[in-house]
Amino acid sequence: MNANTDSMISRLMIEGDQLAQRGQAVSAAVCWQKVLEIEADFPPALNNLAMQAMHRGDLSMARDLLQRAVRAAPDYTMAHANLSRVHSELGDPESALLAIDSAIKADPVAWGPHIEKARLLEAKHQHRAAAASYGRALAYMPEAVQQAPEMKQLVDHARSVQVQNQSELRQFLLGRIGGLMRTGTPRQLERFEHSLDVLTGRRDMALSKPQTLPFARLPSIPIFHREDFEWAPAVEAAFPAMLQELQSLLEEQAEFVPYVQMPDDEPKGPFEPLNNNADWGAYYFWDSGKLIEEHAARCPRTVAALVENAPMCMVPGRAPVTFFSALKPGTHIGAHNGATNSRLTVHMPLIIPPDCALRVGGETHVWKPGELVLFDDTILHEAWNYSDRLRVVLIFDVWHPMLTLLERELVCETIQGILDYNGSSDASGEL
């Protein structure tokens, strides 16, 4: 289109909107039809005409117009959302869900489509999934919108669905772990019961900000002293072997996959620049609890040092997640919070050029090759490589040293309980 055509379309769209606001629907439709004579599939005009068709009860025409709009503009959130409404009116809930999922994919942080998805899921009696959608809607809905009087009924309902789901999750988990809990004394269970309260919405978590599973009453310590861990020297002793195996991989140009690989419908936040980007690459030894046999065979001494010495988190289907983490020159990992403070993240620095560092809760740490770094990754943290060379550390997780054996068991069972409860819809991350 040239500038004159753009100007004409803009003028007709504005005129049509003004006429529609004055209640002159027919005249407005004439303006939008003229737009389509200029550009046959102009999405906003198709959307507006579809809404008119829907209001007069011509749902088939509305559906056809909206399908044209989303074909022409796959990222047109409003058209996908309106198409979902039309499918609902036509009695096609499955197509309505597909359309609203497309709206969410186009704009993951728009709260309206999440509300609509929650309603559709409620109608299908999928109350757990509906609660999750209401939760996302409230997370993205500005506080001013939530406080508006006309939103009170909707917001109250969304919160009540969340509260009910948290209560049901609590009973589900207690049914699973009640017997195990009865083996502990009140003192032994004090922290876990607090964490269960936080998980199910009964109490707030302080200081650290776990994204998946909060564990209560653990001190918020950004970086721990490696000298306090009796197993650390044995792992550090394997540094030369680890470095040698890493260098062999690099010489062989082994594939490091992008560490950040997020679903299309999930907001990327600080990970946006690194999503599906090998600037932060990973060479996995364990991924979601599964040993990568080929990689372990190529780096046997690295794997053996961890298996024989480190108290790694073991959760079927979730942990450990252990890998060589490579940051290319100029890469910055934005500040973020990790999944659960029931573990510590451990770095074994291997290749550390200048101008590289880790910051946790305001504390900046410069890696030293061969010296472990242990930190609570639920505290806001970031890392960078501003050098002109590759930076590589080995990353693995260990249990938080203050967790008792009972508490570790309870955490494992709780994580697996969450997975069973949420089923295939679970997206809770590594742990």
pLDDT of residue 137: 96
pLDDT of residue 424: 63
pLDDT of residue 132: 94
- Residue 4, sorted as left (phi over 0), alpha (psi -120 to 50) or beta, turns out to be alpha
CB-hemisphere CA count at 13 Å for 429? 12
Buried (b) or exposed (e) across 176-195, using 16+ Cβ within 10 A?
ebeeebeebeeebbebbbbb
pLDDT of residue 4: 82
Cβ burial of 168 (10 Å; 0-12, 13-18, 19+) is middle
Q: What are phi and psi of 324, to 5 degrees?
A: -75, 125
Q: Rounded to the nearest 10 degrees, what angle do helices 186-199 and 152-181 cross at?
A: 150
- 281 beta partners: 258, 326
Amino acid at 431: L
Per-residue pLDDT tens digits for 366-422: 999 999 999 999 999 999 999 999 999 999 999 999 999 999 999 999 999 998 998
pLDDT of residue 306: 98
* Domain at 3-107, CATH homologous superfamily: Tetratricopeptide repeat domain (1.25.40.10)
Task: For residue 39, count other CB atoms closer than 10 A to its CB.
Answer: 15
Q: Which residues of the chain have pLDDT under 70?
A: 1-2, 205-206, 424-431
- Residue 166, sorted as left (phi over 0), alpha (psi -120 to 50) or beta, turns out to be alpha
User: ω before 93 within 30° of 0 (cis)?
Assistant: no
pLDDT of residue 426: 62
- Sorted by where each begins, the domain ranges of the chain are 3-107, 223-401
pLDDT of residue 241: 98
pLDDT of residue 15: 93
For 223-401, CATH gives 2.60.120.330
pLDDT of residue 267: 86
pTM score, two decimals?
A: 0.72
